[in-house]
Structures are given as C-alpha cells and as structure tokens.
Structure 1
Amino acid sequence: MDLRKTKYGRFMNERVPSEKRYQPTEYEHAANCATHALWIIPSILGSSLLYFLSDDQWETITAWMYGCGLSSLFTMSTVFHTVSWKKSHLRTVEQLFHMCDRITIYFFIAASYAPWLNLRELGPWAWHMRWMVWIMACVGTVYVFLFHERYKIIELIFYTAMAALPALVILSMRDRDGLFELAMGGVFYSLGTVFFKSDGLIPFAHAIWHLFVAMGAGTHYYAIWRYLYMPGPSQMKTSR
C-alpha cells in the first residue's frame, strides 16, 4: 500500500513517470483553476491602467503587448485547467488547450520584457533583443507543435533560457531603477519551478507553482507601472 496516497488521498495522487502527465485529484484541479482565475480581472485592469497612463503611441503599443501577454497567461491557464478537470469527453480539446497554455508562456515571457526593451535606453549591443524575444517565442511555439510533452526537461530548459537571456541585456540599461524588482520577480519564478516539478511529491504542487507565478508577475507589473509608466524624474524613455 502506498502510504503517501493513504495520507494525502484527497489532496495528491501518486507520482507518475516523466513521460506521462500527472493526474491531479479533484481538490488539486479546483486549486489549479482558482489560483490563476483569481488574477484574470486584476491583470486586465492593470493592463488597462498602463494603457491610460501611456504618453505616446510607442508606450500605448507596449502597454497592449504587455497587457495581452499578462492577461492571456492567466486566462489560458484557467481555461486549460478547467477543461482538464472536465476532460472525460474532451480529450482532444484538452490537448489543444494544453498546447495553447504552453505557447502562451513563451509569449508571456516576451511580453514581460517588452516594456523594458522598448521604453528604456539600452546599450549599443543590446537593441536587437527587442525583436529577438519574439523570435524565441515563435521558435518555442514551433517546438510545442512538433514535440509537445515529449521532452519535458528540454521544454523547461527552453523556458528558463528564454527568461534568463534578455535579463543579461537589460543589465546594459543606464537607468537601473526597477532592477531590484525584476530580480525579485525572477526569484519568485525560480523558486516556483521547484513546485512545478513536484506533482505527486507535494500536495497541490501545481497550484503552489501558480501562486509563485502570480507573485512574480505582480512584482514585475509593479516595477513596470512604477518606473516606466508613472511620471517622475526616475523615468527614462528611449529616444524615438
């Protein structure tokens, strides 16, 4: 008898091999849905605030880019987990939304960097990252279509690399305001990956991962709002 299953029966199922997908319990399904659904409306409202704070067309476009990435992350995650919860007759749809959920993460990472890459003055060797992040997101999309769920560790490495490489470019910014918040958001995401890979070991592991994502996204949003969109002497915009 699996003692762990006996102890956590309603809150966690047995761990599965790496090539298979973990099947959450009913409680875990509910938590997976709730922990991202909770942030859909705040993300839309927050994105709208950046739009109304925009002073020019480039800021407006950037607010839309970032806002779409932010709200899409929480929306698509919630839709996928809801479909997965009720998947008895929706297996094909579940697979489709799972792929969309994975693709959305790539574009969310690109969108999260867009305000810093678009609205801050970068070093002469760093400007190309403004479009490179979107190419990386497109490459990730192709990977999902070709190898979805086949090489999970490689997929995690791709996400991590895409999240880390643009950060090196941002270090070239002359204005360093907001870097602490960017670093703290990165810490939240990094700590969350521990739970992302702990289904079957820690009850509600995926929901906990969702909470770390929300904390990371919230920290980054605060930095974007405070240092890029709120008027003040600390704000330095790219010469356009």
Structure 2
Amino acid sequence: CRFRAPANGRYKPTCYEHAANCYTHAFLIVPAIVGSALLHRLSDDCWEKITAWIYGMGLCALFIVSTVFHIVSWKKSHLRTVEHCFHMCDRMVIYFFIAASYAPWLNLRELGPLASHMRWFIWLMAAGGTIYVFLYHEKYKVVELFFYLTMGFSPALVVTSMNNTDGLQELAYGGLIYCLGVVFFKSDGIIPFAHAIWHLFVATAAAVHYYAIWKYLYRSPTDFIRHL
C-alpha cells in the first residue's frame, strides 16, 4: 500500500522508488561536469570563466548532493543522523543552485543600476534559505516551498528588464517546467515514483537553461571548434 507522507514527516519510498531517485540524478553528474567544463573552455575573459565556474558548481552540486542523499537514504537508512544531515544538504543546495542558475544572466548581461543589486541579493536569499533549512528543516514544508518559488521568480523580474532579451524565452520555458514538476515534488505517496519524476522535470528544466546559457551567453559551437 501507498500512504501520503505525514504532515511533518517524509514519505518512505519503496526499494524501486529509492533506485529511481538515485539513478535519475546520478546519470546526470558526468554530463553536468562536462557541460560546466565546456562553458569554461568557451569563456572569453576572466569574468566569464568565474561565472561559468559558479554556474557549473551549482549545477554539479545539485546532482551530486541529491544522489548521495538518496543513496544514503536507500542503503544506510539505519544511520538516521547521517541521512538527516544529507537531507538538509540536499535542501540547502537547491537555494544555491537557483542562485547559480541566474548568475550567468545577472553577471554577463548589462543591467540597470537597481537591477544590478540582484547580483548579490540572490546570494543573500540563498544564505537566508540555508539558515531557514538549518533551523526549521521539514517543520514548515509549505513555507519552504514558498521560499524556493519566491527565490526562483524574484530575479526573473530583473532579467526580463534587460535590453538584450535573447534567451529569455528558454529561461521562461525552463521555469515553467520546474513549476510543473512541483506537482510531483508534492505527490510522494500519491503518485508512484513521484520524486523520480520530479527529478526528470529538474533535469529537463536544467538542460533547457543550460542550452540558453550556452547559446546566448557564450560562443557558438563553430567558434569553439575553430579555437581547439
């Protein structure tokens, strides 16, 4: 039988769901590393390299931490303290992943005087989210989801005000995919393999955003081949 997770607790996945949760992010670790290295290789200057490094670290950390947490949860469920620690890390890294995903757009596109403050404010929000998880982990799930969505949408208001709007359509598509995936994120115990399906939505949205960053903020593939 399947049961919904208790109000202040987590749903206990089946063995097959544990496996799906692990593999749906584990298989993305190497592509994330390769993709990050590619952006670094395509960078024209130091600022682009730093931005590629920030974005790449956020992307790789998301998949690595998620995979490690799900492996610990699956194979080492008797180590409750370790599992709890990695679950907190899994939640915390989402805030930094959101900030890192916006970093290329905020760092490499021209912004207005007020909009430019979002470059540092988004990291302040990530730090605030981390503190919240540390203090109230799993206590107020709706509040935590609200924080994720707020952090995801707030910088979008700044990004859409840029003079150069190339790539914003893909950015919006990726955001929409994330939002649709939230339905599965909140459906553990209701929809079979809900969390693994959520992982697939995350992977798809991240791929769309990566494509936009690669295409509109870094060199074209023909330029890359020419400089090899």
Q: Same fold (TM over 0.5)?
A: yes
Matched, 1:200 2:189: yes
- Long gaps (5+) in structure 2: 222-228
TM-score between both structures, scaled by the size of structure 2: 0.95
Paired residue for 1:178, among 154, 163, 167? Answer: 167
What is the Cα deviation at residue 16 of structure 1? 2.4
Paired residue for 1:159, among 140, 144, 148? Answer: 148
SS at match of 1:18: coil
Matched, 1:117 2:134: no
Distance in 1 of aligned mates of 2:7 and 2:108 = 41
Return structure 1 stretches of 4+ with deviation > 4 angstroms: none
Matched, 1:227 2:216: yes
- Contact 2:77–2:83 (8 Å) recurs in 1: no
- Contact 2:58–2:101 (8 Å) recurs in 1: yes
Distance in 2 of aligned mates of 1:150 and 1:16 = 13
Corresponding position of 1:216 = 205
SS at match of 1:201: coil
Matched, 1:78 2:67: yes
Aligned residues: 221
Matched, 1:28 2:17: yes
SS at match of 1:55: coil
User: Which deviations, in whole Å up to 9, do the C-alpha atoms of 1:3-52 show, x marking residues without a partner?
Assistant: xx2xxxxxxx3112221110000000000001001100000000000000
Corresponding position of 1:145 = 134
Corresponding position of 2:39 = 50
1:219 alignment partner AA: V
TM-score between both structures, scaled by the size of structure 1: 0.90
Distance in 2 of aligned mates of 1:166 and 1:16 = 32
User: Which deviations, in whole Å up to 9, do the C-alpha atoms of 1:89-128 show, x marking residues without a partner?
Assistant: 3111000000101110000000000000000011232000
Distance in 2 of aligned mates of 1:150 and 1:30 = 26
Distance in 2 of aligned mates of 1:14 and 1:67 = 37
Corresponding position of 1:236 = none
Distance in 1 of aligned mates of 2:126 and 2:77 = 31
2:192 alignment partner AA: P
Distance in 2 of aligned mates of 1:58 and 1:88 = 43
Distance in 1 of aligned mates of 2:25 and 2:169 = 25
1:110 alignment partner AA: A
Corresponding position of 1:187 = 176
SS at match of 2:116: coil
Q: Percent identity?
A: 69
2:151 alignment partner AA: M
User: Which moves more between the two structures, 88-97 or 192-201?
Assistant: 88-97
Paired residue for 1:108, among 75, 97, 100? Answer: 97
User: Which deviations, in whole Å up to 9, do the C-alpha atoms of 1:193-214 show, x marking residues without a partner?
Assistant: 0000001110000000000000
2:217 alignment partner AA: L
User: Which deviations, in whole Å up to 9, do the C-alpha atoms of 1:147-185 show, x marking residues without a partner?
Assistant: 011000000000000000000000111011001100000
Corresponding position of 2:224 = none
SS at match of 1:127: helix
Q: CA RMSD in A?
A: 1.0
Corresponding position of 1:8 = none
